[in-house]
Amino acid sequence: MKRIFVLFFFAIFSVFSVGGASAADKEMTPQARCAALLSTDFTKVQDATTQLLKTEVAKLTPDSPETCMVEGYIAPNIGIRMALPLTGWNGKFFQGGCGGSCGSSRLTWCEEPLKRGYTCLSTDMGHTSAGLDWTWADNNLQAMADFGFRATHRATLAGKAIVEAFYNSAPKYSYFMGCSTGGRQALVAVQTFPWDFDGIVAGAPAINWTGAGMGLWWNVMANRRKDGSKILEEADVRFLHTKVMEKCDAIDGLKDGIITDPRDCKFDPAELQCKAGNASGCLNADQVEAVRKLYSGPHTSDGKPTYTGSVQPGSELNWLAPYIGINGKPAVYAGFIGNQWQFAGFSPAMGPNWDPAQFDFDKDYKRLGLVEPLLTGSNPDLRKFKARGGKLIGYQGWDDQSIVPLNYVDYYETATRTMGGPAQTLDFFRLFMVPGMNHCLGGVGADSVDYLTYLEKWVEKGQAPDVMIGVHAKPEPNGQRSMFFPVPPEKVEFSRPYYPYPAKTKYKGSGNPTDAANFTSTSR
């Protein structure tokens, strides 16, 4: 009897072991396979010792398919969450990036991929926190390394092992998509773990992470006097934006509230400086200087730039909440980036008693190199990713208020030179600059682009995206705009074509300007 019990126990254990039969046993229902995952041994996943904590059959949203929802962690503390369709799996793996300081494994990017039959995974990047909080990084080298480069890769290894156990088949294709911090995750995957994904979408990435933080802090401090009072108020910024658009809106051939390429806008804020005896409908000398600082980006007192790029003409309304503060509230980035400098900007961390206003733009940028190597996504040598057949789509809004557009332009141009020129780069990496788009999405431009479909066609069919169509969707009843594709024609306000950088979109001069068909590309 004892021998029979031992054999029975061994047989049951082997069913739920990675080394034995898969949880995708053909005799089991999808619901049973989902439950079986919880007993499957994932501790032997190489480089990603994984333990599942919970599985359940559930829907991500009421309109989503039924999935096996999985929660777990990778030792010692990288949280993961995953959704695996019970039926209709398309054979593909999708991983979404996070934002800000991360700290949550919410399946933010997963609704659209799940509807297409993907499995979908997200990670908290090695810590639990609010998205604008950096206290978790306080002299915590392990957490910083996970946030910087380890968590995304380890989550990928764990996710693919879970997929194989559930379906008894490895994914045919693997994709990653992220923006902001998620865009940096994407570039780190390309540069450091080029074999993890077949295709990657990297949106508005915080490429030089400490530099990006310095740029945001510069923008906050540019609007402060020595006593901490504000220089520009909301009305001043709105006045400035109106004048910028009056001068530059039509330089692309169409007056539509969108500046196609802000680099073509030659606007000097001194044009708005008050004349003697005139104190209204103008900016005073302090305000003009604040605007100059915002347009110029961080630099030393003798004019030496310490970061690539700045906010662009046309983006002024996006400064209000982050840098200026509205409705009696402080500037959002005063708290977010100030907290970053206290706990994650330096090594050792400065701590909660240090006043971020003491950041010295003449000296402290030199100290950021102690942290930046953990967090950077700036390596332009992408030969390994190209050699393995990977495809990379980058995108960036010209009106971005959080990650300045010229930083991505600089990275792409540097990568192009490193890879041997435009032809050698365009065959695997294309950057699309989106006029009028804010950080990652939103704004006055045609910000809704079906990047995943363009990426699939490039990876799976060899159809490189020579043009992408973006749409500006009408607001939903909740005030948000749909990001699901295809966007129904009745919900489209206007559309625009986008071309691989450095090409720009230009109106043909006739035809309905709300229709992408009446635009073409130009190199000027």
**How far, in whole angstroms, is CA 117 from its chain's centroid?**
23
Closest CA to 83 of 67, 99, 104, 72: 67
Q: Is the pLDDT of residue 13 over 70?
A: no
Strands (E), 309-462: 391-397, 429-434, 448-449
Confidence class for position 10, pLDDT limits 50, 70, 90: very low
Q: Is the pLDDT of residue 277 over 90?
A: no
Give the pLDDT confidence score for residue 12 in this predicted structure.
37
Give the pLDDT confidence score for residue 4 in this predicted structure.
39
Q: Is the pLDDT of residue 483 over 70?
A: no
Q: What confidence tens digit (pLDDT) does each residue in 299-315 have?
A: 999 999 999 999 999 99
Dist. CA 291–CA 282, nearest whole Å: 13
Give the pLDDT confidence score for residue 24 in this predicted structure.
62
What is the mean predicted confidence (pLDDT) over 68-78? 97
> How close are the terminal C-alpha atoms of the chain, in Å?
84
Mapped onto helix, strand or coil, the DSSP state of residue 163 is helix
Give the pLDDT confidence score for residue 477 in this predicted structure.
78
CB–CB of 366/157 below 8 Å?
A: no
Q: Which two tokens stand for residue 205?
A: 């990435």
Amino acid at 116: R
Dist. CA 203–CA 247, nearest whole Å: 29
Confidence class for position 14, pLDDT limits 50, 70, 90: very low
Share of the chain above pLDDT 70, in %: 94
Give the pLDDT confidence score for residue 19 in this predicted structure.
42
Confidence class for position 244, pLDDT limits 50, 70, 90: very high
Dist. CA 38–CA 54, nearest whole Å: 6
Give the pLDDT confidence score for residue 130 in this predicted structure.
87
Cis peptide bond N-terminal to 194, omega within 30: no
Give the pLDDT confidence score for residue 9 in this predicted structure.
34
Give the pLDDT confidence score for residue 280 in this predicted structure.
85
Handedness of CA 503, 509, 511, 514 (dihedral sign): positive
More confident residue, 22 or 465: 465
Share of the chain above pLDDT 90, in %: 89
**What is the reported pTM?**
0.94
The residues, ordered by sequence, that sit 6+ positions from 13 with a Cβ below 8 Å of its Cβ are 20
The CA distances from residue 514 to 122, 470, 506, in Å, are: 36, 11, 13
Average pLDDT, the chain: 93
Give the pLDDT confidence score for residue 5 in this predicted structure.
36
CB–CB of 149/192 below 8 Å?
A: yes
More confident residue, 15 or 155: 155
Q: How many other C-beta atoms can be found within 10 angstroms of the C-beta atom of residue 28? A: 16
Give the pLDDT confidence score for residue 94 in this predicted structure.
98
Q: What confidence tens digit (pLDDT) does each residue in 358-417 have?
A: 999 999 999 999 999 999 999 999 999 999 999 999 999 999 999 999 999 999 999 999
User: What phi and psi values does residue 363 have, to the nearest 5 degrees?
Assistant: -130, -40
Q: Is the pLDDT of residue 243 over 50?
A: yes
Give the pLDDT confidence score for residue 524 in this predicted structure.
64
Closest CA to 68 of 54, 81, 85: 85
Q: Is the pLDDT of residue 433 over 80?
A: yes
Give the pLDDT confidence score for residue 480 in this predicted structure.
67
More confident residue, 6 or 155: 155
